[in-house]
Structure 1
Amino acid sequence: MANLLQALLTNDILFLGIGGGMLLILGLAVGYMFGQRKRKGKVRHKTEERTTDNWMDLRWKKIYQLSTDLSNTLNYEKLLDTALDLSSAALSNENGTSSNLVSAVLLFDQDELVVQTSRRFTNADLRNTFQGTKGLLGEAINKGESTRSQEILQDPEIARVVAIRACKSAYCIPLRSGLDVYGVLLFAHPDKDFFSQDNCEVLEIMAVQAMNAIQNARLYQDLAQEKERLAETQEETRRKLARDLHDGPTQSIAAIAMRINFARRLIERNPKEASEELFKIEDLARKTTKEIRHMLFTLRPLVLESKGLRAALEAMAEKMQETYGQAVAIDVDDNIVAQLDMGKQGVIFNIADEAVNNARKHAQAAHIWVRLKASQKGLALLEVRDDGIGFDVEKIKSSYENRGSLGMVNLKERSELLNGVLQLQSKPGVGTRVQVYIPMTEEAVERLLHRS
């Protein structure tokens, strides 16, 4: 019995030892398997992280490249296309394929938003115009902030866009600079949760870059137009000088030559009458000299550079009296002149000189008044008024291009050089009043632009 018990105990112990060993081995195996799985999971996680990192690197490389393209172009249409391509690239998925993003640039044309360029819009969508006062567009423009919406089909404006009807979310970013809103960037996507905080932040960055590029392009266009306008103004100045020389001094010099020839033949027959003719020729020559000097003065009034606007206007008035017998009164607020740089003073002088000469030639005025004074807040007023015969303003405006005269066109263009607004008032029999409102501050410029 004892031997049997001992044998059983020995066998049990052996069994337990074997079982314990097996359990230990099993435990080690399971642990190893879990360890391997965990390590494989970590490797897979790291691989996924590397894949994500590679995708993010590729994403930002695309953004950087497109941003460079955006900053390097001044072509307006190419710039807007690049802005949409930039947004699409920034939000593409990890495989780099399209994100099914619907996008468009809507810019104001007068009081309506029109489609400048788009992605995935139908031909019918491209013809749509928007008031920008309701729904997603209205909220973004009125608040001046980016706005999201998941109620596209209920939107009173963008629901008309066929390409957007299949989308479940939309995002609108206003393109603004200061108080001015140029338009909006509009995005839509079939995924209702597509416009996450991260994606929206990326689009905001793109919008800022696009707005800066748009402003640069517009400034470049404005500069190009300004250069073209200055060239046209210079060409018109040359044409005006040629006309004035032809109508004035050239005719006078031709008359002098003819009368000298007449006086030379008259000397032998009637010396006394010839002497009187020579006196008349001398008067005509002196008058012609004054006309030429007046033209030289208006081309480049040196007194303007040395003594300023008041002295230049007073010198112009004196020469008008001496040369043509035309009375011109000058009234200038020196406080206004002190706020004007020399370039603006030169433009104001040219406007006044042009208006005074128009009045002298056409108005049959006994008196002409030139005034420069303070007007409303931040504005100065240049006014040239006469007591001449006047004219029908609308009739003159309607026939100006056909008549080929650019007098009023010159006044308008020179007023625009000051960011000013030209107003013309006249009626037959009551004289004429030419007014130019000149902004003296940036706020005044904004007010005049909105008013005009």
Structure 2
Amino acid sequence: MRRLETLLLADRIVVAVRWLGLISLAALAFAGDEVSTVLQTLFFLGGVGNFILTGLTLFRRRLPSHEYVSIAADVILASLLFRVSGTINGSLIWAGLLPVVTGAVYYAAQGGLLGAMLSLIGMSVMAFFDTSVSETLRAFILPSIVFLGGGLVLGFLSRNASNELKQRLLSEVGIGAQSRRLARNRIQAVYDITAKLNSTLNYSRVLDLALDVSNQALAQPGRGTPLVSAFYLYNGGMLEVGSARRYTPSDMRVTLRGKRGLLASAINAGTPRFMKNPSADPEFRRIVALSNCKSVYCYPLKSGLDVYGVLIFGSEDENYFVEENREILNIVGRNAQVSLQNARLYQELEEEKQRIIQIQEETQQKLARDLHDGPTQSVAAIAMRVNFARRLMERDINATGEELFKIEDLARRTTKEIRHMLFTLRPLVLESSGLVPALESMAEKMDETYEQKVSVEADPGIDQQLESRKQAVAFYLVEEATNNARKHAEAEHIWIRIKPAGEDLVLLEIEDDGEGFDLSAVEATYDDRGSLGLLNMRERAELISSVLQIDSRPKRGTRVRVWIPLTEAAIERIKNA
């Protein structure tokens, strides 16, 4: 490929010089005596031939043995022009320079000398038809010197130009190869970035990897020092360092507001920004590590429409952040965003799993307490009463009958308590008929078992809007709230209401007329309490992205309200509220 480019360049030089030579010779011929028709025809044929060769060069085509054909054509044309001119000392004798130039361009000094000798031989043969040998030799002394000397000079110039061209081509090829190698390295670096950042779900590890792969992707042997880089994440409205490279210990403690300068521009626009002279920036000038940097690049980290952090890169090169380097950093930023979101989701899943485990443990502890405080005590009482009745039977048979009646009543109440506990553990009616029938069934059992008045008010079909998981959590919240009202508040009445609450929201409300309590005092002493009922209710509500609110005052009863979202849009509205 390189040799072809060199030959095509030589072809262009030859046709250009030939055009110049033909035009110059024609001008000399037409400036003299009257030009014959034969001479005009020769100039025309020479122009046609050179036009064809010019067309070949434009289309990057060559004839077989193109160099030899060009030299031979020039020798023949020069000899014929000299012969037709009719004079041995005329100006057209210099047409013999055409093959000299062609030979020198193609074959350097050897080609120039060959072209000169062929030209001299051809023209000498033509001169022998009209003049003597001695006269011909005298006439060709000066042209011979010019042709041979010109062939040598042009040949050396051609060789030097050819060598310089080859060196330049080799240099360009080397630069091209280096550029392709760098491009391949960067492409590989991009794949490495994606692979490494997607290989971990550890939040801190993602921060460190993003900074490390940035330097690796942009590293060039022998050029500059590594980038100053840092991850800033929002915490309480301030940007704090999550991870950094080449930061001083004092820089690690610096917090930024992101309200001025480049940070504010990038955060407000939600797009990357870069600047020169970061020491003039009102926020960056507080960072010692950036004092030696002459340019800074800032990439905002977004989740949806919200910016939750920024990536900052600083370089000592003023022109470092060119388009290709910015593109690499943008790839790092985009992959870091995805990896951070994945790590955050994984962390939330782990936390939710731990909450579920805690809830299960609390449920088991609650069941153990309920069994201990209820059926276990009743069964123990039944055993004591049976023993008492057995001894009483020996003394007073009538009193024994009364005691057995009391034992029977206690056994029935214990059976109801156990059935109620089994119902709340797994209400089959909830799975088969839905939330409202399950609540109505629970209200009936509360009345039968504890003589507790519970009223259920629900809009028709409201529970059908809730998926089964949300219905199960809602039933647990109602069961917990009603038990608290019955056991601790000594409520006479409990009201359960389910109704729509705006767009894509359902409001679950549990209200009682019991003793009430000081909510802030209860929450403040959670660490010293054995039961975490209210906290468990909040965590259960969070499992279905709901918001739980408790209103209570001593002697004024308690009201528990739960806003349950039905769509993703409703979840976003609740979070923002």
Shorter chain as denominator, the TM-score bin is over 0.9
SS in 1 for 2:376: helix
Matching residue of 1:81:
208
Matching residue of 1:429:
555
Identity of aligned residues (%): 49
* Counterparts of 2:181 and 2:410, CA distance in 1: 89
Write out aligned runs for 1:3-22 (5 A). Answer: 13-22=140-149
SS in 1 for 2:240: strand
* Counterparts of 1:131 and 1:57, CA distance in 2: 39
Between 229-238 and 159-168, the greater mean CA deviation after superposition? 159-168
Q: Which of 297, 302, 311 is matched with 1:171 structurally?
A: 297
Q: Which of 397, 417, 441 is matched with 2:523 structurally?
A: 397
Matching residue of 1:35:
162
The change in CA–CA distance for 1:334 and 1:418 in structure 2 (over 3 A counts) is: farther
Compute the displacement of 1:47 (Å).
1.2
Matching residue of 1:250:
376
Q: Which of 149, 152, 160 is matched with 1:25 structurally?
A: 152
Tell me the TM-score normalized by structure 2: 0.74
SS in 2 for 1:251: helix
Compute the displacement of 1:218 (Å).
1.2
Matching residue of 2:3:
none
Letter aligned with residue 68 of structure 1: A
* Counterparts of 2:270 and 2:499, CA distance in 1: 38
**Contact (CA 8 Å) 1:147, 1:173: kept in 2 or not?**
yes
* Counterparts of 2:284 and 2:292, CA distance in 1: 12
* Counterparts of 1:208 and 1:66, CA distance in 2: 10
Q: Which of 359, 367, 385 is matched with 2:485 structurally?
A: 359
Compute the displacement of 1:225 (Å).
1.3
The change in CA–CA distance for 1:162 and 1:380 in structure 2 (over 3 A counts) is: same
SS in 2 for 1:129: coil
Matching residue of 1:340:
466
* Counterparts of 2:504 and 2:302, CA distance in 1: 24
Matching residue of 1:317:
443
**Contact (CA 8 Å) 1:122, 1:162: kept in 2 or not?**
yes
- Summarize deviations over 1:330-362 as a string: whole Å, max 9, x none: 122345422211111101110111011011101
Q: Which of 238, 261, 272 is matched with 1:112 structurally?
A: 238
- Summarize deviations over 1:12-42 as a string: whole Å, max 9, x none: 8424422331112110110121011101210
The change in CA–CA distance for 1:151 and 1:235 in structure 2 (over 3 A counts) is: same
Q: Which of 48, 57, 76 is matched with 2:184 structurally?
A: 57
* Counterparts of 2:500 and 2:271, CA distance in 1: 38
Compute the displacement of 1:148 (Å).
2.0
SS in 2 for 1:130: coil
The change in CA–CA distance for 1:96 and 1:235 in structure 2 (over 3 A counts) is: farther
Compute the displacement of 1:151 (Å).
4.8
**Contact (CA 8 Å) 2:434, 2:464: kept in 1 or not?**
no
Write out aligned runs for 1:94-173 (5 A). Answer: 95=221, 99-173=225-299
Task: Report whether the alignment pairs 1:447 with 2:553.
Answer: no
Matching residue of 1:92:
219
The change in CA–CA distance for 1:373 and 1:22 in structure 2 (over 3 A counts) is: same
Task: Report whether the alignment pairs 1:271 with 2:397.
Answer: yes
Aligned-pair Cα RMSD in Å: 1.9
**Contact (CA 8 Å) 1:105, 1:118: kept in 2 or not?**
yes
Task: Report whether the alignment pairs 1:226 with 2:352.
Answer: yes
* Counterparts of 1:175 and 1:115, CA distance in 2: 14
SS in 2 for 1:199: helix
* Counterparts of 2:243 and 2:568, CA distance in 1: 32
* Counterparts of 1:450 and 1:114, CA distance in 2: 23
Matching residue of 1:3:
none
Letter aligned with residue 194 of structure 2: S
The change in CA–CA distance for 1:308 and 1:199 in structure 2 (over 3 A counts) is: same
Task: Report whether the alignment pairs 1:372 with 2:498.
Answer: yes
**Contact (CA 8 Å) 1:88, 1:98: kept in 2 or not?**
no
* Counterparts of 2:314 and 2:502, CA distance in 1: 47
- Summarize deviations over 1:23-75 as a string: whole Å, max 9, x none: 12110110121011101210111011112211222232233223212111111
Compute the displacement of 1:208 (Å).
1.2
Compute the displacement of 1:363 (Å).
0.7
The change in CA–CA distance for 1:335 and 1:133 in structure 2 (over 3 A counts) is: farther
The change in CA–CA distance for 1:179 and 1:440 in structure 2 (over 3 A counts) is: farther
- Summarize deviations over 1:171-201 as a string: whole Å, max 9, x none: 2111112133221111122222222222222
**Contact (CA 8 Å) 1:158, 1:164: kept in 2 or not?**
yes
* Counterparts of 1:410 and 1:312, CA distance in 2: 21
Compute the displacement of 1:405 (Å).
1.5
- Summarize deviations over 1:284-331 as a string: whole Å, max 9, x none: 000000000011111110000000111111111111111001111112
Between 316-325 and 440-449, the greater mean CA deviation after superposition? 440-449
Between 72-81 and 144-153, the greater mean CA deviation after superposition? 144-153
Matching residue of 2:367:
241
**Contact (CA 8 Å) 2:193, 2:332: kept in 1 or not?**
no
The change in CA–CA distance for 1:161 and 1:232 in structure 2 (over 3 A counts) is: same
Letter aligned with residue 72 of structure 1: S
SS in 1 for 2:525: helix
Pair member with larger Rg: 2
* Counterparts of 2:173 and 2:490, CA distance in 1: 92
Tell me the TM-score normalized by structure 1: 0.94
* Counterparts of 2:227 and 2:357, CA distance in 1: 46
Unaligned runs of 5+ in 1: 1-5
Task: Report whether the alignment pairs 1:280 with 2:406.
Answer: yes
Q: Which of 254, 267, 289 is matched with 2:415 structurally?
A: 289
- Summarize deviations over 1:242-291 as a string: whole Å, max 9, x none: 00000000000000000011111111211111111111111100000000
Q: Which of 288, 300, 307 is matched with 2:426 structurally?
A: 300
SS in 1 for 2:491: coil
Matching residue of 2:317:
191
SS in 2 for 1:195: coil
Compute the displacement of 1:444 (Å).
2.2
SS in 2 for 1:121: coil
* Counterparts of 1:262 and 1:205, CA distance in 2: 83
SS in 2 for 1:350: helix
The change in CA–CA distance for 1:386 and 1:98 in structure 2 (over 3 A counts) is: farther
**Contact (CA 8 Å) 2:190, 2:331: kept in 1 or not?**
no
* Counterparts of 1:277 and 1:96, CA distance in 2: 100
Letter aligned with residue 73 of structure 1: T
Letter aligned with residue 262 of structure 1: F
Compute the displacement of 1:97 (Å).
5.8
* Counterparts of 1:73 and 1:334, CA distance in 2: 49
**Contact (CA 8 Å) 1:101, 1:189: kept in 2 or not?**
yes
- Summarize deviations over 1:91-130 as a string: whole Å, max 9, x none: 222x276653111111112321110101111111111112
SS in 2 for 1:73: coil
